[in-house]
Structure 1
Amino acid sequence: MHQIWKSFRALYFASLMMLIGSGLLSTYLALRLAEDQVDGLWVGALMAANYFGLVLGGKLGHRLIARVGHIRAYATCAGIVGAAVLCHGMTDLLPVWLFLRLLVGLGMMCQYMVIESWLNEQADAKQRGVVFSLYMIASYLGLVLGQLILVVHPELGPELLMLVAMCFALCLVPVAMTRRIHPAPLRPAPMDPKFFIKRVPQSLIAIMGAGLLIGAFYGLAPLYASQQGLSTELVGLYMGCCIFAGLLAQWPLGWLSDRYDRPLLIRIFALLLGVAALPLAIFPHVPVEILFVAGFLCALLQFCIYPLAVAFANDHIEGERRVSLTAMLLVTYGIGASIGPLLAGVLMKVLGSQMLYAFFSVTSLILVWRIRPNAVTNLHQVDDAPLQHVAMPDSMSSSPLVAALDPRVDEQVVQDQMMEGTEPSDEPEPELEPEIAPEFGGPQADTKP
């Protein structure tokens, strides 16, 4: 462990600084708009623009890295992100802020791709799981520390924007000073939406639901907490506790995921989330103690859905397609995360701040309705499924290349797929039997006992 930390500490530090800046910026913008009494629709739109930028960056990042190399691409995007952050303090025009948030998301996705491809290429196959775990810890820790800065510095002045820009400036240092040989240029991994929609439709539904939930949470939870009467310090503490809950959930979740049916777990966690969100959804105002306890519990449950859905999808996709699968999951998650803040923002504007948790509850119950464990056909389940669960950061802090760090994925296949940008196989695909039963559009098949 110590040797791995020593080998990759520069990349971990860069990730940490990026996520501190990103987490602080999201909460700061929500609180600034709340202070100016701007309705939740604009707050949701800003987060939607950020996720749209992340999805767009997943496509453009490959081209930029292929053209100028990893270090130049990383430095370019860090500079653009830092400038975009500072521009928020130069104007109060919300349409301009939307464009700036899109730029931040686009640039950060390219930075994620540089770091993750670097980790993947230089990580030994036997150490890949540990390398990935430390990367995930750095990502979540950065998001938590970004919120806790508000506890120390609650004034919503330009100093916080300067601090965010400073984080993106500091994340440049370890990458720019590295003496390691940077990885070979990347090309986009092939993505076949029709194939994945037919093969893993329930997984994509779960990923979409996770995007709706987590996108709305990151964008609107600070606004909700502010409208509950919490001070800036308590809002930062509330957000930090909720994100920390997501980190705490990952390891016990892995134990459960490896021992119980994953679609069943998704339904159970979604049902529990729908119930846990009800107190905050029903009452317009709740005591601070209840707010923190219920918020922590809801966050713990909602951050479980995404990694379970990823593991469930990987159970039904061959190893050579898993980088492409992760790209498809990112796009699906990004669509949900772009829509979620907008829908929840409209509800909060019309019916009050408690509608954020009403949105969580309704979305969770829809997942309970749509995810059917007894409808999984298993006709395309990989031989060693269920695969060992791998804790995953949410898509706010990863790129499609994060799949390459998965120790379950063959290293040479991943490198060939990312380098060549070709389909994994030229052989015609067999007729697909999806993971769901006829009532959802698939043919009849034996169901899982």
Structure 2
Amino acid sequence: MRQIWKSFRALYFASLMMLIGSGLLSTYLALRLAADNVDGLWVGALMAANYFGLVLGGKIGHRLIARVGHIRAYATCAGIVGAAVLCHGLTDWLPLWLLLRVIVGLGMMCQYMVIESWLNEQADAKQRGVVFSLYMIASYLGLVLGQLILVVHPALGLELLMLVALCFALCLVPVAMTRRIHPAPLHPAPMDPKFFMKRVPQSLIAVLGAGLLVGAFYGLAPLYAAQQGLSTELVGLYMGCCIFAGLVAQWPLGWLSDRYDRPLLIRIFAFLLAIASLPLAILPAVPLEVLFVAGGLSALVQFCIYPLAVAFANDHIEPERRVSLTAMLLVTYGIGASIGPLVAGVLMKVWGSQMLYAFFSVASLTLVWRIRPNAVTNLHQVDDAPLHHVAMPDSMSSSPLVAALDPRVDEQVVQDQMVDNIEPEPEPEPDSETVGPEPDPDASERV
């Protein structure tokens, strides 16, 4: 463990600083608009713009890295993101803020791609799981620390924007000074939406639902807490506790995921989310203790849906397609995360702040309705499935290349697909997750 930390500490530090800045920026903008009595719709739109930039960066990042190399691409994006952050302090014109949020999301996605491809190239196959776990811890720890900065510095002045820009300036230092060899050039992973829609439809529904929930949470939970009368310090503490609860839940979740049916677990956690969100959805004002307990429980189960959906999808996808699968999951998640804050923002504007958690309840009950464990035929379940669960960061803090760090994916397959851009062999496309025609007797060995 110590040797791995020593080998990759520069990249972990870069990830930590990026997520501190990103987490602080999202909460700061929500609180700043709340202090100016701006509609929650604008707060949701800003978060939607950020996720749109993340999805867009997944396409542009490959071209940029291939053209100028990893270090130059990373330094360029860090500089652009830092400048975009500071531009928030030069104007209060909200349409420009939307554009700036797209730029921030786009630049951060390119940075994620540099770090994750670098980790994948340098990590030994036997160490991949530990490397991935430390990267995930650094990412979530950065999100938590970004919220806790508000506890130390509650004033919503330009100093916080300077701190965010400072984080993005510091994150490029270890990458720019590294003496390691550049990773191999990247090529876009082939993505076949029709194939994945037929092969893993229920997983895509679950990922879309997770995007709706988590996107609305990151964008509007600070606004909800502020409208409940919490001070800036308490809003930061509330957000930090919620994100930390989501991090802590990942390891017990792995134990459950490897022992019980994953689509059933998705339904159970979605139902628990609906129940946990109900008190905050019904009551327009709640005591501080109830807010922290109910909000923490809601976040704990909310952050479990995406990793379960990813593991469920990987059970039915061959190793050579898993990088492409992650790109598809990112796009699906990004669509949900762009829609969720907008819808929840409209509801909060019309009926009050408690509508955020009412939105969580309705969206999670929709998942309970749409995810049908009895409909899974397992016709295309991979030979050694169910695969060992690997905790996955949400798309707020990862790129499609994070699949390459998954220790379940064969290293040579990943290198072939990332470096040589080898198209996987076409597979038959009958429905494997949902109800379909009766399986052919010849396929009984795969069931």
* 1:131 Cα deviation from its structure 2 partner: 0.2
Change (3 A) 1:378 1:32: same
Q: In the alignment, which residue of structure 1 is the partner of 2:437?
A: 443
Whether the aligned pair in 1 keeps the contact of 2:70 and 2:182 (CA below 8 Å) is yes
Residue type of the alignment partner of 2:144: V
Q: 1:431 and 1:34 mapped to 2: Cα distance?
A: 49
* 1:444 Cα deviation from its structure 2 partner: 4.3
Residue type of the alignment partner of 2:13: F
Q: In the alignment, which residue of structure 2 is the partner of 1:215?
A: 215
Q: Which runs of 5+ in 1 are unaligned?
A: none
SS of alignment partner, residue 428 of structure 2: coil
Q: In the alignment, which residue of structure 2 is the partner of 1:47?
A: 47
Q: In the alignment, which residue of structure 2 is the partner of 1:433?
A: 431
Q: Cα deviation per residue 1:103-159 (whole Å; 9 max; x = unaligned)?
A: 000000000000000000000000000000000000000000000000000000000
Whether the aligned pair in 1 keeps the contact of 2:348 and 2:355 (CA below 8 Å) is yes
Within a 5 Å distance, the mapping from 1:9-28 to structure 2 comes to 9-28=9-28
Within a 5 Å distance, the mapping from 1:224-263 to structure 2 comes to 224-263=224-263
Q: Which runs of 5+ in 2 are unaligned?
A: none
* 1:422 Cα deviation from its structure 2 partner: 3.3
Q: 1:443 and 1:242 mapped to 2: Cα distance?
A: 43
Q: In the alignment, which residue of structure 2 is the partner of 1:82?
A: 82
Q: In the alignment, which residue of structure 2 is the partner of 1:401?
A: 401
* 1:419 Cα deviation from its structure 2 partner: 1.3
Q: 1:206 and 1:55 mapped to 2: Cα distance?
A: 18
Within a 5 Å distance, the mapping from 1:86-97 to structure 2 comes to 86-97=86-97
Residue type of the alignment partner of 1:416: D
Quote the sequence identity (%). Answer: 88
Q: 1:72 and 1:374 mapped to 2: Cα distance?
A: 50
Change (3 A) 1:445 1:368: farther
Within a 5 Å distance, the mapping from 1:234-383 to structure 2 comes to 234-383=234-383
* 1:21 Cα deviation from its structure 2 partner: 0.1
Q: 1:430 and 1:134 mapped to 2: Cα distance?
A: 37
Q: In the alignment, which residue of structure 2 is the partner of 1:152?
A: 152
SS of alignment partner, residue 89 of structure 2: coil
Q: 1:271 and 1:411 mapped to 2: Cα distance?
A: 37
Q: 1:254 and 1:431 mapped to 2: Cα distance?
A: 29
Q: Cα deviation per residue 1:43-93 (whole Å; 9 max; x = unaligned)?
A: 000000000000000000000000000000000000000000000000000
Q: 2:343 and 2:57 mapped to 1: Cα distance?
A: 23
Q: In the alignment, which residue of structure 2 is the partner of 1:118?
A: 118
SS of alignment partner, residue 398 of structure 1: coil
Q: 2:255 and 2:133 mapped to 1: Cα distance?
A: 15
* 1:432 Cα deviation from its structure 2 partner: 1.6
Equivalenced residues, count: 443
Within a 5 Å distance, the mapping from 1:127-138 to structure 2 comes to 127-138=127-138
Whether the aligned pair in 1 keeps the contact of 2:198 and 2:429 (CA below 8 Å) is no
* 1:431 Cα deviation from its structure 2 partner: 4.2
* 1:433 Cα deviation from its structure 2 partner: 2.7
Q: 2:122 and 2:287 mapped to 1: Cα distance?
A: 50
Q: Cα deviation per residue 1:185-240 (whole Å; 9 max; x = unaligned)?
A: 10100000000000000000000000000000000000000000000000000000
* 1:283 Cα deviation from its structure 2 partner: 0.5
Q: 1:209 and 1:268 mapped to 2: Cα distance?
A: 14
Q: In the alignment, which residue of structure 1 is the partner of 2:417?
A: 417
Q: 1:156 and 1:179 mapped to 2: Cα distance?
A: 39
Whether the aligned pair in 1 keeps the contact of 2:199 and 2:429 (CA below 8 Å) is no
Residue type of the alignment partner of 1:77: C
Residue type of the alignment partner of 1:430: P
Residue type of the alignment partner of 2:312: F
Change (3 A) 1:367 1:167: same
* 1:445 Cα deviation from its structure 2 partner: 5.0
Q: Cα deviation per residue 1:389-438 (whole Å; 9 max; x = unaligned)?
A: 0011111000000000001101111111011223112xx4324233101x
Say whether 1:166 aligns with 2:166. yes
Q: TM-score, normalised by structure 1?
A: 0.97
* 1:320 Cα deviation from its structure 2 partner: 0.4
Q: 1:65 and 1:431 mapped to 2: Cα distance?
A: 33
Q: 1:386 and 1:38 mapped to 2: Cα distance?
A: 47
Q: 1:181 and 1:339 mapped to 2: Cα distance?
A: 40
Say whether 1:7 aligns with 2:7. yes
Aligned-residue CA RMSD (Å): 1.3
Q: 1:444 and 1:416 mapped to 2: Cα distance?
A: 35
Q: In the alignment, which residue of structure 2 is the partner of 1:108?
A: 108
Q: 1:18 and 1:143 mapped to 2: Cα distance?
A: 9
Q: Cα deviation per residue 1:333-352 (whole Å; 9 max; x = unaligned)?
A: 00000000000000000000
Q: In the alignment, which residue of structure 1 is the partner of 2:30?
A: 30
Q: 1:310 and 1:430 mapped to 2: Cα distance?
A: 21
Q: 2:76 and 2:125 mapped to 1: Cα distance?
A: 30
Q: In the alignment, which residue of structure 1 is the partner of 2:203?
A: 203
Residue type of the alignment partner of 1:188: P
Whether the aligned pair in 1 keeps the contact of 2:151 and 2:233 (CA below 8 Å) is yes
